[in-house]
Amino acid sequence: MSIDSDALIDWYGETARDLPWRRPEVTAWQILMSEIMLQQTPVVRVEPVWREWVARWPVPSAMAAASQGEVLRAWGKLGYPRRALRLHECARVLATEHGDVVPDDVDVLLGLPGIGAYTARAVACFAYGQRVPVVDTNVRRVVARAVHGRAEAGNPATRDLADTEALLPARVDRAARFSAALMELGATVCTARNPDCSRCPLPTCAWVTAGRPASDIVRRTQKYDGTDRQARGRLLDVLRAAPGPVERVALDLAWTRDPGQRARALDSLLLDGLIEQTRDGLFALAGEGGAS
Ligand code: SF4
Calculate how far, in angstroms, residue 145's C-alpha sits from the geometric centre of ligand 1. Answer: 7
In the chain, pLDDT over 70 holds for what percent of residues?
Answer: 99
Known catalytic residues?
35
Q: What is the pLDDT of residue 290?
A: 76
Q: Give, rounded to a whole angstrom, the gap between the first and last alpha carbons of the chain.
A: 57
- For the segment 172-197, the average pLDDT, to the nearest whole number, is 96
Give tens-digit pLDDT for 29-62: 999 999 999 998 999 999 999 999 999 999 999 9
Residue that wins the pLDDT comparison between 217 and 266: 266
Rounded Cα gap, residues 292 and 287, in angstroms: 7
- Answer for the pair 288, 244: CB distance below 8 angstroms, yes or no: yes
- Our answer on whether the CB atom of 8 is closer than 6 Å to any ligand 1 atom is no
- Our answer on whether the CB atom of 289 is closer than 6 Å to any ligand 1 atom is no
Rounded Cα gap, residues 129 and 218, in angstroms: 37
Calculate how far, in angstroms, residue 42's C-alpha sits from the geometric centre of ligand 1. Answer: 22
Is 218 a residue whose pLDDT tops 80?
no
- For the segment 284-291, the average pLDDT, to the nearest whole number, is 84
Ligand 1 pocket mutation, candidates 5, 188, 207, 212, criterion most atoms within 8 A of CB: 207
- For the segment 182-193, the average pLDDT, to the nearest whole number, is 96
Give tens-digit pLDDT for 73-89: 999 999 999 999 999 99
Give tens-digit pLDDT for 103-158: 999 999 999 999 999 999 999 999 999 999 999 999 999 999 999 999 999 888 87
Calculate how far, in angstroms, residue 194's C-alpha sits from the geometric centre of ligand 1. Answer: 10
- Our answer on whether the CB atom of 143 is closer than 6 Å to any ligand 1 atom is no
Give tens-digit pLDDT for 242-262: 999 999 999 999 999 999 999
- Our answer on whether the CB atom of 190 is closer than 6 Å to any ligand 1 atom is yes
Mention every residue, 6+ apart, whose C-beta is less than 8 A from residue 188: 15, 17
Phi-psi region of 287 (alpha: psi -120 to 50; beta: other; left: phi over 0): left
Nearest protein Cα to ligand 1, atom 5: 146
Mention every residue, 6+ apart, whose C-beta is less than 8 A from residue 268: 228, 232
pLDDT band per the 50, 70, 90 thresholds, residue 224: confident
Q: What is the pLDDT of residue 156?
A: 80
- Mean pLDDT (the chain) is 94
Give tens-digit pLDDT for 5-27: 999 999 999 999 999 999 999 99
Is 215 a residue whose pLDDT tops 90?
no
Rounded Cα gap, residues 195 and 186, in angstroms: 9
Bridge partner list, 284: 276
- Our answer on whether the CB atom of 192 is closer than 6 Å to any ligand 1 atom is no
Q: Lowest mean pLDDT of 54-58, 255-259, 280-284, 287-291, name the range.
A: 287-291
DSSP assignment of the chain, as one string? ----HHHHHHHHHHH----GGGSTT--HHHHHHHHHHHTSS-HHHHHHHHHHHHHH-SSHHHHHTS-HHHHHHHHTTSS-THHHHHHHHHHHHHHHHSTT-----HHHHHTSTT--HHHHHHHHHHTT--------HHHHHHHHHHTT--SS--S--THHHHHHHTTS-SSHHHHHHHHHHHHHHHHHTS-SS---GGG---S--HHHHTT-PPP-PPPPP---TTSHHHHHHHHHHHHHHSSS-B-HHHHHHH--S-HHHHHHHHHHHHHTTSEEE-TTS-EEETT-SS--
Is 291 a residue whose pLDDT tops 60?
no
